Structure 1
Amino acid sequence: MEHIFNKLGYEISLKKENQTDVAIAMLSINNPDGTPRWIWDAACNKPLFLKFYNVGSQRALLFATAIKLVFMLKLQKLVFKKNTYYLSKTDHKLVNLQTDWALFTGTVGPNNKAILYANQSFYKIATTKNAQTLIHDEHLMLEKVNASSTTFITPKTTQISNDVIQLTDISNNGSRVKNIMSSHLNALTEMYQMENKIIKASAWDQFIHLTTDFKTINDHRIPKNMVRKIDLILQAIPADELVELSLSQGDFTQWNMFEKNGKLSIYDWELAGSNKPKAFDYFHFIIQNGVLVDHKPWKDIYAEIIQSFQGDFAKELFNSDLDELNNYLKWYLLINCMHYLKVYADQPKWHVQIHWLLQVWNEALNTFLVAEKTPRELIIMDLFDAIQNQEYAALKFQDGFPEKLSLQSDIDLVITKEMSDLLIQMLKNHALVSKMTSCKRSFMNTIQVFTHGADILSVDLIWQLKRRNLEILDAEQVISKNEMNNYGVKNASSIDTARYVVMFYILNGAKIPAKYLGYEAAISSSKESIDLIISGYFSNLYKDKAPLQQLIRQYTSNKGFNFIKNTWNYMIDTVKNSKKSNGFVVTFSGVDGAGKSTVIENIAIRIEKQFRRKVVVLRHRPSVLPILSVWTKGKEKAHQDSISSLPRQGKNSSSISSLLRFAYYYCDYLFGQFVIYFKHIAKGHVVIYDRYYFDFINDSKRSNIVLPKSISRFGYHLLLKPKFNFFLFADANIILSRKKELSKETIESLTKEYTQLFHSLQANSHSAVYMPINNIDLETTLNQIIKTVNVD
């Protein structure tokens, strides 16, 4: 504080050193670390320091109202901290502190400057070399802007010294507006018209300078995947790409302006310049306000960017082209991120707002990486960036870039319960997440993330490592011994991983997978009793889990009250888990050659691995009753004939025979559906039918049945409706290139009939899905199915 007053022409101390020293009582409000934030003359009857405060939220309004009430009741000397200082004037006194004044000591960092309000003016006081440059640039820029005719108002400026500039107060009883309005857009349009130019990216000095500085950043706190994203975007920019630059205020935010009668008063021009991409201020206003004031996630901020894109501003700058707007959003993010990542890397201590901004900027960068990364990969990158500066331990995680995790693999993180809640909120609000479900238990939370790309990511957030009612490892110790790999992931140590792998698989009655056998080396030299027993499982010395269970029961965490607590929690978890949602039925229909078998094979794997549900594949019907030929040929011969015979080759033409055959198979559906329900659906399994009852409606000849459709169609009313029904089709020529079992005319006829049936059923259904899918590209088909099969 002393050096700030010194720059104003005063020496200040807590003791009187000269007879000419003047005693002055000051009141202050401190920062959380105890350093003064706002200081003012105790004799001042107005809260002038609120001139520095942004009343942009309900909480801020409440604070400002409380301050005003304190002053109105003249209680400020009782409420705020009071100190008496002694001032002595130097030969270069710049302001008169004998009148009312207030001082803001500034924000910690390389650009720190204090701001004094006195004599109806603001005085910016540079306290660093960077700040000196900034206030000098602001003075020059304001002189330039004030020389132009504009509808917005800017302060008049006077350079008092190298460290101090004076700015007139332009607040004029205006109000701060947090939403971007026509007055903002008009001001931005005017600034664009004042100065703009088109330049190649390779000739853009600021861009080259920021890129060079960005590549020198070496700070473990900077999110590693965010840096990789920026690198990927930079690599994709051609050297001859043209960029339009224009005049920018540089920090166009609600706390740097007032609005009154549709007119904008803008101050704080120290970051202004003509070397930023056009619309920089537009993006900056919405994003900064969304993050720092409204605490919105990126998806809501982006929606506001699109919604506010209108009027003359949109026409003048972008010809109302959304693609062009997005292109300049990319440039805004690059310039802003590279600049501030360097600033933050040089800043010893981070305030919480930095973490908020980094998370939103990081997620915003995903918009420009859809060609390089899938939504699932980008979510994984963001997840690990979000916890990079926290303590956790990933279990059994690959050694490579985190987003390269197999589609069939999930993420197991040992973290604190508080971190778990923050991660869940982050994933829930993520722009690339279409839906998120969670299954919370006493010791962990299992998250399933459904992406807009139809992929699924499963994440286990674990704060107590347990098997049933026994704690197998101390989570805090596992976290404390984590090891960061070269990709920024903090893994559990090799020895903890070896212990966990054995305990997890052996206590679950499973074999240790071959890929984990290498962890035996981690405990080979250990003499701890737990490792000696675990080593026995690696070497197959022990065949059952009894020795391991006996050892674990001796842990303090599994004795006495802890045992009772663990057992109670296990019982509660078991009851809750028993109430989990039922399974469901998925049916696939289509002519031979439509690709059902391949699709079913892939979908079964995805559902089993990603949805964590058991999958049962049935052919055509429940098969509680055998096929009819079993009764005459025997099971083995009937099965062989069924496989070897071509479809639709039956010779039956009798209505009575057909009715009897249909009645037999219908009984299988009618009664078998309840067997399937209690055997599988009620247990949470997913049942997939390769063909279903719809064949009896549209293609009964396939089952050697000749009956009117109305009979089989009526029978469907009495059956439980499968939740998801897909009819796979393709062009007849494509199907014939795969299989030549049916004629082109038959394929086209059946396709038409199935499509009409599915459309008719869908029109009359509010819960089941009947969806025809043109199965041309396998991955597209699988993604569409996964996106539809959205488990509650």
Structure 2
Amino acid sequence: MNMMPPATARLKFEQEVLARLFLDLGRIDYAVLRNHEQLPFRLGARDIDVVVRPADLRQAVGIVVRLARDFGLRLADHYADERMTQLAFMKREGQEIFDLKIDFFTSSQVFGIELMSAGEMLTGLRRQNGVAIVSDVVMLLDKWLFHLVVGRPLHPKYNARFGAIAHEHGRRLQASLSPLLGRAEADRQVAVIASGAASDLPCLPRGRRIRMLAGMARRRGVAGLPLMARFLAERLRNRISPHGFLVSVSGPDGSGKTTVIDLVLEQLRQIYGADSVEYHHFRPSVLPRIAEMAMATGAAGKIDDDYSRPHRARPSGPGGSLARLGYYGLDYVLGYVHVVRPALTDRKIVLFDRYYHDMICDPGRSRIRLPDRCLRAAGRLLPLPRLAFFIKVAAKAAHLRKQELSVDQIAALNRRYGDLVRRGWMIEIGNSEAPDRAAAAIVGHILELREAAAERALKVASR
């Protein structure tokens, strides 16, 4: 009999969702791949990895979508490629956020080459409190083969668990690895894993890994070609239209922007994962600061790094302002190519504390003095965020928080940011009350964007 601790409202809700999830998944062949120890009473991890047969994938997705609808969960994200179909959901109750992410796998694969089919992964299942779990051997091979092929060492947290599995099922592991590695290397690796030192095994040389992949591809034969073709197509599609997106948050000093951003980052990382959010300040900074270049060339004696007074220096003249604008614009372009775009391709949310909008509204911060129409025209040539937010607070309230700017200066900045809001460049977020409300409003806009895209993708997938 399982003794359960007193349940909070969130825990009770979580248990109800999980109980329904695994009850409904029982209609098809499925198995949880890892992080199953606390199921179905607690998530135990921020996502659930589930193996299903390719023929059952659409039904599995439908089961989860209906569950989300019945429990009032919002569809926070949807992503599908040749390897997995991912669904992320969330529900906000006051300041409490319940999040659930489910990854459906129809095989174990890498680079479009199948390592284990769903049929192979769904053999020898075991049960835990009514939840189907893959066998220990499948769980180990799924993780180990992936690390072998990509040339990445195993995390030490798996050493003890994998050691126990290899000690008990050494012969089965040797039989699975020998066709790929050769008998001697397979025996050596299984022996090291069984000793509890799997993370100490060095990565295979690149040539050896390529030969191993080629061997796996030959084993699948012509039947594996559609999967490889989809792998290439999905990678091309994601490069052309990345799943990630760019966000910025701006506002005058004293608007509470930093506090709001910290709360937004915390919530986004809870909903989408700690590794799914990347944070930057003002510009990508692929190019160094102009002051640093002047210092390096001897044009300046020292660098002024008094960031507490961003408007301390006088703006440059027309020629200097154009040069600064061109230099910073080039940094945004190069930074997008080398910093932002790769993160978007990795399906990350990239959040900037300030962005080019601040050069339009507060050009003195960058020592630029040019007409607004010139600054806006330059902005149309740059890669701008999908969502750009302006944190607005009454000028007097902002001045009470920070005295770097006068009340009149803050009011003028509010008007300039407001002009970009009216032009459709930015979204205004009030922050006159608790900052968690402003953060919730920003996250709400992001969720609306992701939810709409996810619903469109699901409609296409269900046709």
TM-score by length of 1: 0.44
Question: In the alignment, does 2:420 pair up with 1:788?
Answer: no
1:689 aligns to 2:352 (yes or no): yes
Distance 2:259 2:155 in 1: 27
1:509 aligns with 2:148: no
Please state whether the residue corresponding to 1:726 is helix, strand or coil: strand
Q: Distance in 1 between matches of 2:432 and 2:170?
A: 59
CA pair 423-740 structure 1, distance change in 2 beyond 3 A: same
**CA 542–513 in structure 1, closer or farther in 2 if over 3 Å, else same:** closer
Query: Is the counterpart of residue 664 in structure 1 residue 323 in structure 2?
Result: yes
Cα-Cα RMSD: 4.4
1:473-552 equivalences in 2 (<5 Å): 473-486=116-129, 488-519=130-161, 520-528=163-171, 529=174, 530=177, 532=187, 533-536=189-192, 539=197, 540=199, 542-545=201-204
Q: Whole-Å Cα distance in 2 between the matches of residues 638 and 497 of structure 1?
A: 60
* Structure showing the higher helix proportion among its residues: 2
The answer (yes or no) to whether the contact 1:416–1:463 under 8 Å persists in 2 is: yes
Match of 2:375 among 712, 728, 732: 712
Tell me which residue corresponds to 1:753: 415
Change in CA separation of 1:622 and 1:586 when aligned onto 2, cut-off 3 Å: same
Quote how far apart the aligned CAs of 1:566 are. 2.0
SS in 2 for 1:591: coil
Query: Could you list the per-position Cα deviations for residues 495-523 of structure 1 after superposition, in whole angstroms to 9, with x for gaps in the alignment?
Result: 43233232233433333233322312122
Match of 2:272 in 1: 610
- Map of 1:175-574 to 2, 5 A cutoff? 372=10, 380-388=18-26, 390-402=28-40, 404-405=42-43, 409-429=46-66, 430-431=68-69, 432-435=72-75, 438-442=78-82, 444-451=83-90, 453=92, 457-486=100-129, 488-519=130-161, 520-528=163-171, 529=174, 530=177, 532=187, 533-536=189-192, 539=197, 540=199, 542-545=201-204, 559-560=218-219, 562-574=220-232
How many pairs align?
414
C-alpha distance 693-554 of structure 1, shift in aligned 2 (>3 A): closer
SS of residue matched to 2:246: strand
User: Which whole-Å CA distance do the structure 2 matches of 1:510 and 1:474 have between them?
Assistant: 22
Task: Give 1:728's match in structure 2, choosing from 366, 382, 391.
Answer: 391
> Counterparts of 1:569 and 1:397 in 2: how far apart (Å)?
27
Deviation (angstroms), 1:393: 1.6
Q: Secondary structure at the match of 2:140?
A: helix
Deviations 1:619-670 (A, max 9, x none): 32344543221233239999994544322342426xxx24334312321354
Aligned mates of 1:775, 1:592 — CA distance in 2: 14
Gaps of 5+ in 1: 1-217, 219-223, 233-368, 763-767
Q: Are the counterparts in 1 of residues 250 and 354 from structure 2 also a CA contact under 8 Å?
A: yes
Q: How far 1:387 sits from its partner (Å)?
A: 1.2
Aligned to 1:629: 291
SS of match in other structure, 1:629: helix
* Cα shift at 1:579: 0.8
Based on CA coordinates, which of the two structures has the bigger radius of gyration? 1
Aligned pair in 2 of structure 1 residues 515, 694: CA closer, same or farther (>3 Å)? same
Alpha-carbon spacing, 1:774–1:602, altered in 2? closer, same or farther (3 Å): closer
Q: Does 1:588 align with 2:249?
A: yes
SS at structure 1 position matched to 2:390: strand
Instruction: Give the deviation of 1:535 after TM superposition.
Output: 4.9
Measure how far apart 1:543 and its partner are: 0.5
Q: Structure 2: how far apart are the matches of 1:757 and 1:411?
A: 45
Secondary structure of 1:512 counterpart: coil
Cα distance between partner residues in 2 of 1:554 and 1:535: 25
Please list the CA deviations of residues 5-59 of structure 1 after superposition, one character each: whole Å capped at 9, or x if unmatched: xxxxxxxxxxxxxxxxxxxxxxxxxxxxxxxxxxxxxxxxxxxxxxxxxxxxxxx
State the TM-score, normalized to the length of structure 2: 0.71
Flag the 1:731–1:633 CA change in 2: closer, same or farther, 3 A: same
Q: 1:631 and 1:518, CA in 2 relative to 1: closer, same or farther beyond 3 A?
A: same
Aligned residue type for 1:496: V
- Is the 1:375–1:452 contact (alpha carbons within 8 Å) kept by the matching residues of 2? no
The verdict on how the C-alpha distance between 1:668 and 1:385 changes in structure 2, with shifts beyond 3 A counting, is farther
The unaligned stretches of length 5 or more in structure 2 are 178-185, 454-463
Once the two structures are superposed, what CA deviation does each residue of 1:722-773 show, in whole Å capped at 9, x if it has no partner? 2110123456787678x645357268525632552343122xxxxx652424
When residues 592 and 513 of structure 1 are mapped into structure 2, their CA distance, relative to the original with a 3 A threshold, is farther
User: Matched residues, percent identical?
Assistant: 18
Which of the pair has the greater relative contact order for Cα pairs under 8 Å at 6+ separation? 2
Taking a change above 3 Å as real, the CA distance of residues 558 and 701 of structure 1, as seen in their structure-2 partners, is: closer
1:293 is matched with none
Residue identity opposite 2:55 in structure 1: E
2: CA distance between counterparts of 1:383 and 1:636?
Answer: 66
In structure 2, the CA distance between the partners of 1:705 and 1:670, relative to structure 1 (3 Å rule), is closer
For 1:524, what is the secondary structure of its paired residue? helix
Match of 2:181 in 1: none
Aligned counterpart, 1:178: none
Deviation per CA, 1:131-164, whole angstroms, max 9, x where unpaired? xxxxxxxxxxxxxxxxxxxxxxxxxxxxxxxxxx
How far apart, CA to CA, are the structure 2 residues paired with 1:585 and 1:651? 30
Secondary structure class of the residue paired with 1:786: helix
Distance 1:641 1:546, change over 3 A: closer
Give yes or no for contact 1:415–1:462 (8 Å, CA) kept in 2: yes
* 1:397 CA drift (Å): 1.6
Aligned residue type for 1:473: M
Q: Which letter does structure 2 place at the counterpart of 1:492?
A: V
Contact 1:413 1:460 in 2 (8 A): yes
Q: Shift of the alpha carbon at 1:450?
A: 4.3
